[in-house]
Amino acid sequence: MHPEVQKMREIVLIYLDRSGGLQKFVHDCKKYNDSKQSYAVYRFIISINPSDIAELDATLGNYILHNPIQAAQIFQSVCFVAIKTLSLIEQLQTEAQISILLKPTHLPPLPSYILNLSAFPFNYTSQRFYESEGIVIAMGTITKYTQGARFLCTGETCPFSEGFRYIRVHLPGATESATVRNDFVCSLCSSPLQEDMKFRVLGDKQIVEMIDAKALNALKGYSNNKSHFRIQTFTVFLRDDLANRMTIGNHYKIIGIPACVQNGSQATVCIEVSSVQQRKPNGPTFISDNFKHLLSLTSSSCWRFTAILANIFASQVVPPGTYNTLKLTILLSLVLTCEKDNEIADYLDLLIVTSDTLIIDRLLNYSICLLPRGIRHPSSSEFFPAVSKDKHGTGSASIQACSALLAKGGICYIGDLSSYKKDKLEFLQSVLESRTTTIFIPGKKYGEEADQQVTLPVQTNFWSYVDVDASSKKHTQRASSLIGQMDLSLISPNLLDVFGLLIYNEFPSCRLSFPLVHHILKKAINPEAMLYRVSQQFRTQDYEEFILFAKNLHVELSSEAENLIQGYYLASRRVRRDAIHGSKLSASALKILISLSKAHTKLSLRKKVLEEDALIAILLLESSLTLKHGKSALCVAPNAVFPFDLSDENSLKQRDIYLMQCHHQLLKFIGAYSPGIHVNTTEE
Question: Does 184 participate in binding Zn ion (rule CB under 5 A)?
Answer: no
We find the least distance from the C-beta atom of residue 156 to Zn ion, in angstroms, to be: 9
Q: With binding defined as CB under 5 A, does residue 616 bind Zn ion?
A: no
Q: Least distance to Zn ion from the beta carbon of 170, Å?
A: 24
276 binds Zn ion (CB under 5 A): no
Nearer to Zn ion, 152 or 331 (CB): 152
Return d(Cα 94, Cα 112) in angstroms, integer. 37
When asked if residue 153 is in the footprint of Zn ion (CB under 5 A), the reply is yes
Q: Which is nearer to Zn ion, 191 or 537 (CB)?
A: 191
Closer residue to Zn ion in complex, CB, 158/553: 158
| Distance separating alpha carbons of residues 218 and 208, to the nearest angstrom | 21
CA distance 403 to 405: 6
Decide whether 151 or 446 has the Cβ nearer to Zn ion: 151
- Asked if 585 and 605 count as a contact pair (C-beta separation under 8 A), the reply is no
Nearer to Zn ion (CB atom), residue 191 or residue 290? 191
Least distance to Zn ion from the beta carbon of 162, Å?
11
For Zn ion, which residue of 108, 155, 393, 671 counts as binding (CB under 5 A)?
155
E runs forming strands in 49-165: 98-104, 130-140, 143-153
Closest to Zn ion by CB, 156 or 528? 156
Using CA atoms, how far residue 520 sits from 504, 509, 534, 622, in Å, is: 21, 13, 17, 32
Query: In sequence order, what are the residues at sequence separation of 6 or more whose Cβ sits closer than 8 angstroms to the Cβ of residue 239?
Result: 145, 170, 203, 204, 205, 206, 272, 273
**Among 82, 66, 74, 73, CA closest to 24:** 82
Tell whether residue 635 is a contact of Zn ion (CB under 5 A).
no
Instruction: Name the segment binding Zn ion (CB under 5 A); options: 106-114, 149-157, 301-309, 512-520.
Output: 149-157
Taking CB under 5 A as the rule, does residue 637 contact Zn ion? Answer: no
Q: Is there a contact between 474 and 325 (Cβ–Cβ < 8 Å)?
A: no
From 9-17, 189-197, 234-242, 596-604, span contacting Zn ion (CB under 5 A)? 189-197
Measured at the CA of 671, the angle between CA 666 and CA 674, to 5 degrees, comes to 100
Does residue number 186 form part of the binding site for Zn ion (CB under 5 A)?
yes
- Give the C-alpha separation, 62 to 54, whole Å: 7
193 interacts with Zn ion by CB under 5 A = no
Question: What is the size of the binding site for Zn ion (CB under 5 A)?
Answer: 8
Which of residues 163 and 442 has its CB atom nearest to Zn ion in the complex?
163
Among 42, 151, 160, 463, binds Zn ion (CB under 5 A): 160
269 binds Zn ion (CB under 5 A): no
CA 512 to chain centre: 38
Query: Contacting Zn ion (CB under 5 A), which of 119, 185, 188, 267?
Result: 188
> Which three-class secondary structure state does DSSP give residue 669?
helix
Please tell me the distance from the alpha carbon of residue 599 to that of residue 348, in angstroms, as a whole number: 9
- Tell me whether residue 40 or residue 186 sits nearer to Zn ion (CB atom): 186
Question: Judged by CB under 5 A, does residue 74 bind Zn ion?
Answer: no
Q: Are 178 and 19 in contact (CB under 8 A)?
A: no
Of the candidate residues 13, 82, 114, 158, the single one contacting Zn ion (CB under 5 A)? 158
Give the footprint of Zn ion on this chain (CB under 5 A): 153, 155, 158, 160, 186, 188-189, 191
